[in-house]
Structure 1
Amino acid sequence: MSVSDENQPPERLQGKNQAVVVCFILGIGSLVSWNSMVTIGDYYYQVFPDYHPSRVLTLVYQPFALGTIAILAYHESKIDTRRRNLIGYVLFSIGTFLLILLDMATRGGGGIGPYIGLCAIVASFGLADATVQGGMVGDLSLMCPELIQSFMAGLAAAGALTSTLRLLTKAAFKSSNEGLRKGAMLFLAISTFIELVCVFLYAYVFPKLPIVKYYRRKAASEGSKTVSADLAAAGIQNQNQSEVAEDDSKNLRLSNKELLLQNIDYAVDLFLIYVLTLSIFPGFLYENTGEHGLGDWYALVLIAMYNFWDLIGKYHHNTSSLVKFLKLESRKGITLAVVSRFLLVPAFYFTAKYGDQGWMIMLTSFLGLTNGHLTVCILTTAPRGYKGPEQNALGNLLVLFLLGGIFAGVALDWLWLIGKKNAF
């Protein structure tokens, strides 16, 4: 226990470790379905070799995610966060299971029909991602920083977990008939199970943890209406409504426009972080890195290294006392670091053209490390000093810019195909 914790209300500390673990698992569930799609890209390239799966599926996913988060961020103060997050996790569960059914129905066959079906499921993932990620980041922004750090680490762990499982299943089924397909289906089955676990945890475990109830009651006393259903699920009903009604003037919150103007640098930084990352990952890594000694394992190793170091970048904040010099809290320092990352564009270009696989693995690792580190720096620093409703709103706005950056990066990723033979 830290010194600052000694003066905190007892309920503020009870269940903190359990909440950190639950947030980590919920973070995994927020991205494991989409990361499944990215990580079994080698299978979809075998089934749909002419349709650029890694690029097209990402381009299908992002407009739905961006459009949904834009609507939800605008209306966030009126939306039931509990229902929103549960709908998102249920959508993920159904969509991942439908991927298995689609493959079984087509017997692993290609063609435009199955590909359109695949794109439709991916579009549902975009809806679910915006629903869950914006809802969870907004909800956790009004709690202690450790919870949002754990959730973001879970997002990164989803990538690391899927990459590890993909390498294992590829090795396990390599010598069998339809080995690539069997590994992919096992992989999707595990992802479906994880999503169902997240539905259970968010519905029945998370709202009843003392530390979560403490922060949600605090947010309700500050005028938040988004936490009422979660408080009711924890057996706390109408507890703070009288307090809010008595002095509503204290609960006047900043508008979304005012919040955005005060944090425009954080929002633009998040946008730029993901513009760069998604202009390279995963399309460039699958299609522009050439042939090397690792053969058909090469792209999977690159994806795995990015995901592993993204996890390290997000998780190390939990041990920040050991690496204080790495923890950026200066707004100018964060912006400088974000802009400096764009030097990776020429670095990746020349490494793909002239370098060997060792240099590419190192660059990909650095891309993941900086992506994770800078994301958590912003999401844990920006909400400080605001009341619960404002923290929730700001969390949604920051996720809007994050997903906007992803969409722009996915679009820019196609520029790598210029001048490439047989690009289309």
Structure 2
Amino acid sequence: MECLKNDSNVVIPKDTYKLAYIIHFLLGAGNLIPWNAFITAIDYFGHLYPDKHVERVFSVAYMSSTLLILTIMINWSNFGRFVSFQVRMNIGFTMFVLSLMVSPTIDWVCWPDKSTSAFYVVVASVVICGLADGLIGGSLIGSAGKLPKEYMQAVFAGTASSACLHGPKWLRNEVFVVFLTVILGFTNGYLTSVIMILVPKSVPPSEAEMAAVVMALFLALGLVSGSVLGWFWII
């Protein structure tokens, strides 16, 4: 379905039982679940490495590596032809699995130096996770950009849903914080989905994938900027 465009000259096949929509939704969720696994365990990592600014280091490492791979995909014009979509997705999810296995493995082998070497290994796993996110996210958004608009919405709906799988217990009594977070989710989710849908449809079909990847690049650039600005709280 990657080659389909919602043009008058193209007959779009029926999505039986919404299987294609569900697949894009699950791929979008799977793209962000590994990062959520790292960031929701920030108290755990803070306990292991109390002298490190774990949250800020993780954010900058992850977002920067994601931005790097998206930049490479854009500058290398033949990237999509040289590496197929299936290969990119399989490599990305393999990197996700490997990066998530690092922290449990370190605990299992009882690494003696949990303040230096082990921390750098964990940060390296976060970088690998970010590279995988850039590879999968750029490929998935680029592919969805060539499809009807509901599939781009499915990708971002899945991405948003990945953060709803589990939440800390202390949020149950923080009604005001939860309300603000919900409002942020609605506005950010809606606006992000709209712009990601409109841009690929505003260019020729041959440029739709690249336009979607460029939008993903600028989205990552904004996230990196926010992560870097977080350090000013410390400075």
Q: By the TM > 0.5 criterion, same fold?
A: yes
Match of 1:73? 74
Counterpart position of 2:42 = 41
Question: Post-superposition shift, 1:389?
Answer: 2.5
Q: Which amino acid aligns with 1:396?
A: V
Amino acid at match of 1:367: L
Match of 2:179 in 1: 362
Give the superposition deviation at 1:368: 2.5
- What is the identity, as a one-letter code, of the residue corresponding to 1:68? I
**1:391 matched residue in structure 2:** 208
SS for the counterpart of 2:200 is: coil
Aligned length: 225
Alignment of 1:262-273 (within 5 A): none
Q: Structure 1 stretches (4+) deviating beyond 4 angstroms? A: none
The offset of 1:121, in angstroms, is 0.3
Deviation for aligned residue 1:108: 9.5
| Equivalent residue, structure 2, for 1:376 | 193
Instruction: Give 2:33's aligned amino acid.
Output: V
- Equivalent residue for 2:102? 98
2:220 matched to which residue of 1? 403
* 1:117 paired residue number: 121
Q: How far, CA to CA, are the matches of 1:62 and 1:357 in structure 2? A: 28
Letter in 2 for 1:71: I
CA separation of 1:122 and 1:108: change in aligned 2, threshold 3 A? farther
State the partner residue of 2:64.
Answer: 63
Partner of 2:157: 153
Q: 1:416: Cα distance to partner?
A: 2.6
Q: Distance in 2 between matches of 1:416 and 1:360?
A: 20
Structure 1, unmatched stretches of 5+, are: 168-296, 303-355, 419-424
TM-score by length of 1: 0.49
Larger RCO (CA within 8 A; separation ≥ 6): 2
Answer with 1 or 2: which has the greater Rg: 1
Shift in Å at residue 397 of structure 1?
0.4
1:145 and 1:118, CA in 2 relative to 1: closer, same or farther beyond 3 A? Answer: same
CA contact (8 A) 1:77 1:393 kept: no
- Following superposition, the deviation at residue 372 of structure 1 comes to 1.2
- Within a 5 Å distance, the mapping from 1:17-416 to structure 2 comes to 17-79=18-80, 80-106=84-110, 110-161=114-165, 163-164=166-167, 167=168, 297-298=169-170, 301=171, 357-416=174-233
Query: Is contact 1:142–1:387 with CA below 8 Å preserved after alignment?
Result: no
Instruction: Tell whether the 8 Å contact from 2:73 to 2:79 is kept in structure 1 after alignment.
Output: no
SS in 2 for 1:110: coil
CA drift of 1:96 comes to 1.3
How big is the alpha-carbon RMSD for the aligned residues of Structure 1 and Structure 2?
A: 2.5
Is the contact between residue 47 and residue 110 of structure 1 (CA under 8 Å) also seen in structure 2? yes
- Preserved CA contact (<8 Å) 2:88 2:135: yes
Amino-acid identity (%): 27
Measure the CA separation in 2 of the matches of 1:92 and 1:32. 9
Tell me the amino acid that sits aligned with residue 178 of structure 2: I
Report the CA distance between 1:371 and its aligned residue: 1.7
Return the TM-score normalized by structure 2: 0.86
Change over 3 Å in CA distance of 1:22–1:109 after alignment to 2? farther
CA displacement at 1:14 relative to structure 2: 3.8
Partners of 1:95 and 1:121 within 8 A in 2: yes
Q: Distance in 1 between matches of 2:52 and 2:149?
A: 42
